[in-house]
Structure 1
Amino acid sequence: MAPDYTLDRNDELLIAVSLFEYSREWEIAEPWNAERAWFLCRVICERHGLSPSEAVLELE
């Protein structure tokens, strides 16, 4: 069982950016998963009032 851990803002943005990258990288080979990753990326970003592009910049 995984230890208890609460995700902070940077954790969530890192996840969003990873989902963004996955959605672009696998768009052709895994279109359903890529679409789902893009959707989840947008959901996380919207929770923080950011676009996916802004999320990338927040991590740099």
Structure 2
Amino acid sequence: MTLFNKIYWFIITHEDVSTGIILIASIALVLCIKWLMKSIAKYQREENVRKYLDKRNWRE
């Protein structure tokens, strides 16, 4: 069983629906935070490259 199937099975078989909703919301939140961190890291790398190139051009 894949992770998605396990989560789906847990939500379907669990009697308390709010637990399933909370589980889905928490997974969505984790994915959003992961995407946000990746975006910040990408921006940070671009900024570092830009600063490095500016310093290099200034020295030449």
TM-score for the superposition, normalised by structure 2: 0.39
Q: Larger C-alpha radius of gyration, 1 or 2?
A: 2
Q: By percentage of residues, which structure has more helix?
A: 2
TM-score for the superposition, normalised by structure 1: 0.39
